[in-house]
Structure 1
């Protein structure tokens, strides 16, 4: 069933008392470490051992190459890019032969933690998908956390998109390794790949889909090729200036932790915003320097994307104008189905905002139609 090209605000929907209790119970049981498992799926129905939600670290051996139309340079070296597979046990361990995999690509300045906020089960986007039978790969892009890059000038957004392409191909062929947990297990083979991106991660996902045509759908959060606010443009200029003076090739996203929170959040509790700011990552300067070129390439190639697309925007996003979502949808002229959802009251960090449950439901409904 195709989704219409439409923009529809998402308001709060009250849960029945029983459903609310079950949701809280499921959140308490949610795994927060590798190898742990939940015994329910959030619906109160017990699951078999094969269906339990598990989380295992994996490694992809990739080349830091730029094979896109973005005119930027990368060092061409081999690097280990690390991630986590989160999903039903039988799918993660390849016992079903093949499955759909959702690849989660984070923004500048965040990391894989953005999709699995430690210590806050209700904000674990990957686990919410897993409880409904979906398998996700939660990436640390090169230059972030578990995927270190000594010189932040040695990569760029074109290379990030090319490495995402390599990840998609390796998922399809099972060319990755478990780094802990199920020793000797057979890697899954992805029958379908849907890429979810947030912010700059959405730009990378969109560029990869347009230039390599190897994904089956896109979920793009808080991103548009045009419509950046003055606040976002000022931050891009500040980062560029900081990179010119940087000796290590990295710069902060936001001049301070307060600026970081202000750029990303609108409705999340203060404790969530502080926890995110404590985990913020420096941004590779090669990514910063190539942002304008990546925007140009994206504008020129968006109409090539022939897969279904879900666009999610917050009504209080401080980085993009309110009308940018509809304009972005119009650029996907070759897609058979483009859906736009505006999350009322939310800022940019949709999976971590107070409306996170609404975001999860919107994505799960969209995936169910695929």
Structure 2
């Protein structure tokens, strides 16, 4: 019986590949009970591939199943919104199923089309150029790792920090740079529905920040949002508030545009194929934020990842030297908040590395 059922589900999945280009058959498929559809996806998972600690399973027939601990409709609605209102390539959402994981929290799964391509990080790696002395230290570091000789690692890493920063060879990237700038401009040109800082349709925002992931808002305006960030400062760092308020003065003095923002532009969320932007994925944190939030979240995701700093400094999708006051403020705020609250070796760490 199990063999027969597996064959039936495999045939259903195979048929799915022929109807990807048509919306109606998927609409009919979604009329079936969610338990039956989920059972089909779970069976296909047995034939799929999932990296350790990943929420993504690569299914047969160019399908992808994503497990969500939060309500999956947030990511689904954001992805569909971007697909409808911009030319930015995103995954095609085929199905979404809710699963109750707790009395107050709903998780679920998202079935979507697979997008071929390599991550931005994979694209950048072969284009990184190190100074000769830095390259020699990196070779030493890799040799220590391979031989499991961990004692010299900290010393080598400290020396490496003193070396000239790596560069990225951008000689063949004209089309990719244009794609990324166009994608950012399209998002930022979307007219906000109001002055609110919120998710779509006035929902709360799912914020990933300072080592935490939490829902917040909606906020009536950007001033309320900015004040909410101050309220997140950990009690042990409340003494920093006078300094933080001084840093905030030039930021609060500005009225920023409200822009639709991805808010999680990690290099693994940008896919490249044949030197062009293949897709931007993982839209769960997206929403209407002050215009600087895209930059400050990107910088937080690549702290001391110097090759990515070099790449984005050449792309500069927000303009050269954009939002420096905002970046300084958010750096110190996040270093005073939640799991990221830290004290430097010589006292409180207020210095933004960028």
TM-score category (smaller protein): under 0.3
Larger RCO: 1 or 2 (CA < 8 Å, sep 6+): 1
1 or 2, which has the higher helix percentage?
2
The two structures have a TM-score, normalised by structure 1, of 0.23
The two structures have a TM-score, normalised by structure 2, of 0.24
Larger radius of gyration: 2
